[in-house]
């Protein structure tokens, strides 16, 4: 497949995304190819580690190929997207629970589906150019691919802020939020990958890691915790409207552009994921309840149209203000026989 290069090199199973002109956007076929590889390597004694990287300077993976999903949804075919999401989430879960080290090198943009393949492994590396975000609320979706688990585990209420605004994190911010483990200068990556291929020992990353350039999130943490303490989107926007300062004003302005239904559901989903015994499987199952309904009942088709297809940046969301709790519950309620089954290939 020209979009991805999968091979074994020394002790490493190598997966390289090769769509740099498309910012290495993740297609359905690429997901299935990655899953096939990690399945084969699970019990392969020659493979000690898996290394995920990508060609090009601009992006590790800027997200899923949503244009591919848009057309089927616009035509009234919801089955393709539901199959895509179910199979993608199965891959995310396998990477999260993989018995061997999974090492990702994430330069440039890592967003959406890129977070799903890059941020659930055991060793996650960022560099100077790294920009990580979960911007799904801007296209009428919710943070998915296991992103709600990462957001729920972020310090304080940082997850609500990142999930609703889609704010981009530089390398220090990525480390603060818990989406990565190491900052290593990108010039060092080729030699580290060569060492991983030679000996299959991820300890080389510990020796190569250095402090990241300063970021913003750590300094904003207390303000974010205060402003996003509300249990609902309305409580959050009310707090932002009453607060003084540029950060609150800029954040409120950003929230005015996102899908109210998506943002309200995101806040509800993160609340549901906090507590003992909560993990990746409940996160993915909850995300799938939303994405299963996203085309038929949510704002996804309109959001993609406005942002990517027509690019008029003027989506007509279902809700123009407050979102009734009943609408949130309708998007996140059980799916019965259609619940996500992570053990099945659809």
The catalytic site residues sit at 64, 113, 136, 144
Cβ contacts of 128 within 8 Å, gap of 6 or more? 171, 185, 186, 213
Cβ contacts of 280 within 8 Å, gap of 6 or more? 92, 93, 96, 97, 120, 146, 149
Alpha-carbon 210 to chain mean position: 25
Q: Which ranges constitute the DSSP H helices of the chain?
A: 28-41, 66-74, 79-96, 113-118, 147-153, 158-165, 171-177, 189-199, 203-208, 217-227, 233-242, 246-255, 260-273, 280-294, 300-304, 325-332
3-state secondary structure of 185: coil
Q: For residue 152, give Cα distances in angstroms to 19, 27, 162.
A: 31, 27, 10
Cβ contacts of 277 within 8 Å, gap of 6 or more? none
Alpha-carbon 105 to chain mean position: 15
| DSSP-derived secondary structure for 82-95 | HHHHHHHHHHHHHH
Report phi then psi at 345, rounded to 5.
-95, 115
- Between CA 177 and CA 217 the distance in angstroms is 8
Cβ 188 vs Cβ 208: under 8 Å: yes
Alpha-carbon 289 to chain mean position: 16
Cβ 135 vs Cβ 151: under 8 Å: no
Cβ 104 vs Cβ 189: under 8 Å: no
Element (H, E) at 231: none
């Amino acid at each position: 497949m020209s979009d991805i290069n999968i091979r074994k090199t020394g002790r490493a199973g190598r997966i390289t995304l090769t769509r740099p002109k498309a910012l290495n956007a993740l297609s359905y076929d690429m997901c299935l190819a990655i899953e096939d590889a990690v399945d084969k390597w699970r019990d392969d004694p020659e493979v000690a580690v898996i290394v995920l990287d990508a060609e090009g300077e601009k992006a590790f993976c800027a997200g899923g190929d949503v244009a591919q999903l848009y057309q089927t949804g616009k035509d009234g075919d919801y089955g393709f997207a539901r199959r895509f999401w179910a199979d993608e989430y199965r891959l995310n879960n396998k990477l999260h629970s993989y018995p061997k080290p999974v090492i990702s090198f994430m330069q440039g943009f890592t967003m959406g589906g890129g977070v799903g393949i890059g941020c659930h492994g055991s060793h996650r590396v960022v560099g100077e150019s790294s920009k990580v975000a979960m911007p799904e609320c801007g296209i009428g979706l919710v943070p998915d691919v296991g992103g709600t688990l990462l957001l729920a585990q972020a310090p304080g209420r940082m997850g609500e802020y990142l999930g609703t605004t889609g704010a981009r994190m530089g390398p220090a911010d990525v480390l603060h939020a818990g989406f990565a483990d190491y900052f290593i200068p990108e010039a060092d990556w080729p030699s580290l990958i060569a060492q991983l291929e030679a000996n299959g020992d991820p300890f080389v990353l510990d020796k190569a890691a250095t402090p990241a350039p300063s970021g913003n999130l750590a300094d904003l943490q207390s303000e974010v915790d205060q402003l996003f303490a509300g249990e609902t989107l309305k409580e959050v926007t009310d707090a932002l409207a009453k607060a003084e300062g540029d950060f609150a004003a800029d954040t409120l302005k950003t929230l005015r552009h996102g899908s109210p239904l998506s943002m309200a559901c995101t806040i509800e989903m993160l609340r549901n994921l906090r507590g003992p015994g909560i993990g990746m499987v409940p996160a993915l199952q909850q995300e799938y309840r939303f994405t299963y309904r996203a085309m038929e009942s949510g704002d996804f088709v309109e959001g993609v149209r406005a942002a990517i297809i027509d690019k008029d940046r003027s989506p007509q969301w279902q809700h123009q203000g407050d979102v009734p709790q009943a609408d949130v519950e309708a998007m996140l309620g059980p799916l019965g026989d259609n619940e996500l089954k992570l053990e099945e290939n659809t």
